[in-house]
C-alpha cells in the first residue's frame, strides 16, 4: 500500500513539529525518516499511524483519503521506541493480542491464532520464548517480539519508531541487517524513524532527511550521501570540514584551489563556504600547488577501518582527515609532523547557508 | 573479638560508615518504642480490655441488641454503595487525567483533593445546606416526599464525598508512571476502548486499585464527622457504627461502646494487614516489572 502525505502541518502548543510537509512512500518500499530530535520525524510517523491528527493537510493510503480514519481501522503495524509490550502478558499473548481483539466475525479460531503466533515467533526466531514475560527478555528480544506483534494483524504498512535506539551497537547492527532481510521477504510498505544516519543509509531504500519540521531532502542513500541538497544534510550525514573562500567571477577560490561557481553568490556576497568530507582530504608531506592549507598533525586515531587524523592549521583551525590504513602506513604519519592538506572535492551550495 | 576485627566483612564496613554509636541508636529506638506503646498499643489494648471487662457473654450480648445490629448493617450498606461508586469515579478520573490532554485538567486534579482539604464537618454541612429542610433543594424534596438529610441517602452522600479522593489519588501517580504507550499499542492493534481497558489498563493497575479500595473502605466505615452532621442520630435507623459507639459511650454503656469499637479496631487491623500484602505485591511487581500473578 502506498502512503501519501500532502502539506501536513502539526503544532503542539507553540511548538511547530511539522511545517507543510509532503512525502510519498511507494508500495513495498522501506523509507527512513532521518533527523535530529525535534525535527518532526516521529510526529510524521504518528500521523501516518493515526496516533496524532494533523492540524492541516491530508493523508492518503493507496490513493484514498485516510486523514480522519480511526487508528483502529488503518491496519498499520507500529513498533514503538520502547517496545510498549504488554507487561502482564506472555510473549505469546502479546503477539496474539491483535488477533484476539478482532471482531468475532473475522477473528481466527483459537487453533488459527496459535498457529499464526508460532509462525511469527519462528519468523523472529523467538519461538522458544513464547511463555516468557517481557521483563525476562533482553532488549533485542523485546524488539523482535514487538515486531512480531505488529506483524500479527498482517498490516499493509509497518511503522517503526527508532526501533534500534535503545540497543547496544552490536545488537543494533545485527537487527538492522535482519530487518532488511525481513523486509525483502514480506514486502510490506515500511517507514522507519531514526536519528542514526548509518542506520538510515544501510537499511532504507530511500532516506528522508528532516530538520525543524521540514523535509530537507528525499533520495536514495547514495543520493543524499554523495549529493546532499543542503548544508544541513551534509552536516547531518557525517563529519565535514568547512573552509572559507571568496568569489571571483564564476569561480570560488579557496587559496590556490579553484571551484566552479557558475551563478555566483545570489546575495552578491564575496564570501563563500566550501565543505569537504574527511575522506575527501589527502595529506602530503611536501608543499603542493593544490594544498588548501598547511598545518601539523595533533592526533592520530588508527583503531578502526579508517585512520582518523587531526591537523591543526597555521590559522588555528582543526581539520579532520580520514585515510586508509595502507596509505597511513605507507606515509608513516606521526604526531607533530608538518603536512599539506589537499582536497579531492569541495562542495559549495549556491543558495547560501541553509540550502 | 580479635577474629572479627581481622576479617571485617565488607558489608559491615559499609554499614558502619553511616551508623551512629550504639548508645544513640538504642536511645532512638527506645524513644520510638515508648511513643508507639503509649499512643498506639496502649489504646489498642484498652479497647479490647474495656470491651471484655464483663466477660465474653456481655461482649457478645452487645451484638444481639437490635440498634447495634442496625448500626452495623447501615455501615456495611454505606460502604457497599460508596466504595464501588468511588472505584468507578476514581478510575474514570485517573484515566482522564493521565491518558488525555484537555482544558481544566489541573483544576480537576485540584478538585479531587478538595474533600481532604475541608473539614468533614463542613462536608456534612454542605449537604444540609443543599438538601436540608431550610436548604436550597429542601422545599422541593419535601414536596416530593424525598428524605435525604437525617436519612440513609444523606449518610451515603456524605461518605462518598469524604472518600472520593482515595482511589483516584492512588491511581493517578501509578498510571502517570506507566504512560500511555501500551494503550496506544493496543489501539494500533485494533482494540476498542473497552478492550484496551479490560485487557491492558486494568491488569496494570489492579494492585494500586485494590490498595485504593482498601483505604476507601476503611475510611467509609470509620467516617464520623460528616456523617454525624447529616445523620440526625435516629437510633436503629440513621446511626452508623461510629455514631452508635458515641451514643453508647455517652450513656455510660462502656462495654457496649467498646465492644462495637473493637469491631472497628479489628477492621483497622485487617486493613493494615491487607495493605501491607498489597504494598509488598506492588513493590514486587514494580521491581520485576512483571505481574504478581497471572490471570488468563
- A166 in reach of chain B (CB within 8 A): no
Q: CB distance B290–A88 less than 8 Å? A: yes
Q: CB distance B185–A84 less than 8 Å? A: yes
For residue B200, list chain A residues with Cβ-Cβ distance below 8 A.
Answer: 86
How confident is the model over B249-254, as a mean pLDDT?
Answer: 87
Q: CB distance B182–A87 less than 8 Å? A: yes
Output the pLDDT for position B65: 85
Output the pLDDT for position A44: 95
* A 76-115 residues inside an 8 A Cβ radius of B: 76-78, 80, 82, 84-88, 90, 97-98, 100-102
**Rounded CA gap, A225 and A211, in Å?**
16
Higher-pLDDT residue of A324, A290:
A324
| H-helix segments, B37-151 | 42-51, 56-62, 66-99, 105-112, 114-117, 120-131, 138-143
- The model's confidence at residue B3, banded by pLDDT at 50, 70 and 90, is very low
Output the pLDDT for position A250: 80
Say if residue B260's pLDDT is above 70. Answer: yes
- The model's confidence at residue A353, banded by pLDDT at 50, 70 and 90, is very low
**Rounded CA gap, B92 and B84, in Å?**
12
Q: CB distance B190–A87 less than 8 Å? A: no
Closest-CA residue to A97 (of B268, A105, A107): A107
Q: What is the DSSP string of B10-51?
A: HHHHHHHHHPPPHHHHHHHHHHHHHHHIIIIIHHHHHHHHHH
Output the pLDDT for position B106: 87
For residue A152, list chain B residues with Cβ-Cβ distance below 8 A.
Answer: 189
The CA distance from B278 to the nearest CA of chain A, in Å, is 17
- Residue pLDDT, tens place only, A15-41: 999 999 999 999 999 999 999 998 999
Closest CB to B190 among A82, A85, A102: A102
**Rounded CA gap, A311 and A285, in Å?**
13
Higher-pLDDT residue of A102, B287:
A102
Q: CB distance B291–A87 less than 8 Å? A: yes
| H-helix segments, B232-253 | 241-250
Say if residue B27's pLDDT is above 60. Answer: yes
Output the pLDDT for position B296: 33
User: Does residue B186 contact residue B195 with C-beta atoms inside 8 Å?
Assistant: yes
The cell numbers describing B79, all together, are 460502604
Output the pLDDT for position A161: 93
Backbone angles phi, psi at B181, to 5 degrees: -65, -40
Closest CB to A101 among B181, B189, B289: B189
How many Cα atoms within 13 Å fall on the side-chain side of residue B107? Answer: 3
Q: CB distance A135–B288 less than 8 Å? A: yes
For residue A102, list chain B residues with Cβ-Cβ distance below 8 A.
Answer: 190
The cell numbers describing B136, all together, are 436550597
- Residue pLDDT, tens place only, B121-136: 888 888 888 888 777 8
A259, containing H or E segment: strand A257-260
- The model's confidence at residue B290, banded by pLDDT at 50, 70 and 90, is very low
Burial pattern A226-247, b for ≥16 Cβ within 10 A else e, equals eebbbbbbbebbeebbebebeb
Say if residue B292's pLDDT is above 60. Answer: no
**Rounded CA gap, A90 and B151, in Å?**
51
Stretch among A79-83, B14-18, B20-24, B105-109 having the lowest mean pLDDT = B14-18
Output the pLDDT for position A351: 54
Say if residue B6's pLDDT is above 60. Answer: no
Closest CB to B181 among A82, A100, A136: A82
Q: CB distance B199–A153 less than 8 Å? A: no
- Residue pLDDT, tens place only, A37-81: 989 999 999 999 999 999 999 999 998 999 989 998 888 999 998
Say if residue B186's pLDDT is above 60. Answer: yes
A275, containing H or E segment: strand A271-276
Q: How many residues does chain A have?
A: 355
**Rounded CA gap, A190 and A1, in Å?**
10
- B177 in reach of chain A (CB within 8 A): no
**Rounded CA gap, B277 and A153, in Å?**
39
Closest CB to B190 among A84, A90, A153: A153
- B232 in reach of chain A (CB within 8 A): no
Which chain B residue's Cα is nearest to A85?
Answer: B182
The CA distance from A113 to the nearest CA of chain B, in Å, is 15
- Residue pLDDT, tens place only, A219-258: 999 999 999 998 899 999 988 999 888 888 788 888 888 8
How confident is the model over B146-160, as a mean pLDDT?
Answer: 85
Say if residue B209's pLDDT is above 50. Answer: yes
- The model's confidence at residue B272, banded by pLDDT at 50, 70 and 90, is confident
Substitution target in A11, A85, A101, A131 with the highest count of B β-carbons within 10 Å is A101
* DSSP summary character for residue A134: G
The CA distance from A222 to the nearest CA of chain B, in Å, is 34
| ipTM here | 0.82
Stretch among A112-121, A217-226, A234-243, B282-291 having the lowest mean pLDDT = B282-291
Output the pLDDT for position B234: 79
Substitution target in B175, B181, B183, B190 with the highest count of A β-carbons within 10 Å is B190
How confident is the model over A185-209, as a mean pLDDT?
Answer: 91
- pLDDT above 70 covers a percentage of chain B that reads 90
Closest-CA residue to A42 (of A195, A189, A190): A195
Closest CB to B188 among A78, A100, A136: A78
- Residue B240 CB partners (closer than 8 Å, separation 6+): B71, B74, B75, B78, B155, B223, B227, B231
Closest CB to A101 among B182, B190, B289: B190
- pLDDT above 70 covers a percentage of chain A that reads 96
Output the pLDDT for position A175: 83
Give me the total of CB pairs closer than 8 Å, taking one residue from chain A and one from chain B: 75
How confident is the model over B184-204, as a mean pLDDT?
Answer: 92
Say if residue A264's pLDDT is above 80. Answer: no
Output the pLDDT for position B154: 87
Question: Facing residues of A297 across strands?
Answer: A311
Burial pattern B251-278, b for ≥16 Cβ within 10 A else e, equals eeeebbbbbbbbbbbebeeebeebeeeb
Q: Dihedral, CA atoms, A64, A70, A72, A78, nearest 10 degrees?
A: 70
Stretch among A119-128, A159-168, A293-302, A315-324 having the lowest mean pLDDT = A159-168
Say if residue A352's pLDDT is above 70. Answer: no
How confident is the model over A205-232, as a mean pLDDT?
Answer: 93
**Rounded CA gap, A98 and B191, in Å?**
7
Neighbour-count burial of A100, counting CB atoms closer than 10 A to its CB (0-12 exposed, 13-18 middle, 19+ buried)? middle
The residue with cell 607533530 is A336
Amino acid at each position: 500500500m502506498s502512503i501519501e502525505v500532502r502539506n501536513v502541518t502539526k503544532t503542539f502548543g507553540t511548538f511547530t513539529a511539522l511545517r507543510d510537509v509532503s512525502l510519498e512512500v511507494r508500495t513495498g518500499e522501506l523509507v527512513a525518516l532521518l533527523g535530529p530530535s525535534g525535527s518532526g520525524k516521529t510526529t510524521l510517523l504518528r500521523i501516518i499511524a493515526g496516533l496524532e491528527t494533523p492540524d492541516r493537510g491530508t493523508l492518503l493510503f493507496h490513493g484514498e483519503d485516510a486523514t480522519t480514519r480511526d487508528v483502529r481501522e488503518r491496519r498499520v503495524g507500529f513498533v514503538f521506541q520502547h517496545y510498549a509490550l504488554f507487561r502482564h502478558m506472555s510473549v505469546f499473548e502479546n503477539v496474539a493480542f491483535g488477533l484476539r481483539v478482532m471482531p468475532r466475525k473475522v477473528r481466527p479460531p483459537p487453533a488459527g491464532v496459535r498457529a499464526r503466533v508460532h509462525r511469527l515467533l519462528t519468523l523472529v526466531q523467538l519461538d522458544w520464548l513464547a511463555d516468557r514475560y517481557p521483563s525476562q527478555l533482553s532488549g533485542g528480544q523485546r524488539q523482535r517480539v514487538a515486531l512480531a506483534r505488529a506483524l500479527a494483524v498482517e498490516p499493509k504498512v509497518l511503522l517503526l519508531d527508532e526501533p534500534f535506539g535503545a540497543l547496544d551497537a552490536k545488537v543494533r547492527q545485527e537487527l538492522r541487517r535482519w530487518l532488511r532481510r525481513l523486509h525483502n521477504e514480506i514486502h510490506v510498505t515500511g517507514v522507519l524513524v531514526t536519528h542514526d544516519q548509518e542506520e538510515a543509509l544501510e537499511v532504507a531504500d530511500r532516506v528522508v532527511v528532516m530538520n525543524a519540521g521540514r523535509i530537507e531532502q528525499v533520495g536514495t542513500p547514495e543520493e543524499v550521501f554523495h549529493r546532499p541538497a543542503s548544508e544541513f544534510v551534509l552536516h547531518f550525514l557525517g563529519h565535514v570540514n568547512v573552509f572559507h573562500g571568496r568569489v571571483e567571477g564564476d569561480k570560488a577560490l579557496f587559496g590556490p584551489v579553484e571551484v566552479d561557481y557558475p551563478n555566483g553568490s545570489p546575495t552578491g556576497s564575496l564570501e563563500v563556504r566550501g565543505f569537504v568530507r574527511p575522506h575527501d582530504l589527502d595529506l602530503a608531506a611536501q608543499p603542493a600547488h593544490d594544498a588548501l592549507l598547511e598545518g601539523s598533525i595533533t592526533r592520530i586515531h588508527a583503531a578502526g577501518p579508517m585512520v582518523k587524523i587531526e591537523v591543526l592549521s597555521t590559522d588555528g583551525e582543526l581539520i579532520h582527515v580520514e585515510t586508509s590504513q595502507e596509505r597511513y602506513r605507507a606515509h608513516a604519519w606521526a604526531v607533530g609532523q608538518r603536512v599539506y592538506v589537499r582536497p579531492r572535492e569541495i562542495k559549495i551550495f549556491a543558495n547560501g547557508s541553509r540550502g | 573479638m580479635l577474629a572479627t576485627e581481622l576479617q571485617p566483612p565488607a558489608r559491615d564496613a559499609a554499614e558502619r560508615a553511616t551508623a551512629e554509636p550504639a548508645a544513640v541508636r538504642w536511645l532512638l529506638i527506645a524513644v520510638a518504642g515508648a511513643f508507639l506503646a503509649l499512643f498506639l498499643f496502649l489504646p489498642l489494648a484498652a479497647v479490647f480490655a474495656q470491651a471484655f471487662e464483663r466477660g465474653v457473654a456481655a461482649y457478645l450480648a452487645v451484638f444481639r441488641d437490635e440498634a447495634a445490629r442496625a448500626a452495623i448493617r447501615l455501615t456495611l450498606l454505606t460502604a457497599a454503595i460508596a466504595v464501588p461508586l468511588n472505584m468507578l469515579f476514581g478510575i474514570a478520573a485517573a484515566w482522564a487525567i493521565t491518558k488525555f490532554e484537555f482544558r481544566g485538567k489541573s483544576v480537576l486534579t485540584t478538585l479531587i483533593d478538595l474533600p481532604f482539604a475541608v473539614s468533614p464537618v463542613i462536608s456534612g454541612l454542605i449537604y444540609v445546606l443543599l438538601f436540608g429542610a431550610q436548604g436550597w433543594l429542601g422545599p422541593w424534596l419535601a414536596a416530593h416526599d424525598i428524605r435525604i438529610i437525617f436519612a440513609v441517602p444523606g449518610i451515603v452522600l456524605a461518605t462518598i464525598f469524604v472518600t472520593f479522593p482515595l482511589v483516584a489519588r492512588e491511581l493517578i501517580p501509578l498510571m502517570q508512571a506507566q504512560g500511555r504507550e501500551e494503550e496506544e499499542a493496543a489501539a494500533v492493534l485494533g482494540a476498542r476502548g473497552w478492550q484496551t481497558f479490560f485487557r491492558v489498563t486494568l491488569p496494570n493497575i489492579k494492585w494500586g486499585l485494590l490498595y485504593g479500595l482498601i483505604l476507601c473502605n476503611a475510611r467509609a466505615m470509620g467516617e464520623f464527622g460528616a456523617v454525624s452532621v447529616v445523620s440526625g442520630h435516629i437510633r436503629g435507623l440513621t446511626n452508623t457504627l461510629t455514631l452508635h459507639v458515641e451514643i453508647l459511650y455517652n450513656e455510660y454503656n462502656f462495654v457496649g461502646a467498646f465492644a462495637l469499637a473493637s469491631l472497628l479496631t479489628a477492621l483497622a487491623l485487617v486493613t493494615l494487614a491487607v495493605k501491607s500484602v498489597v504494598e509488598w505485591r506492588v513493590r514486587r511487581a514494580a521491581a520485576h516489572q512483571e505481574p504478581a500473578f497471572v490471570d488468563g
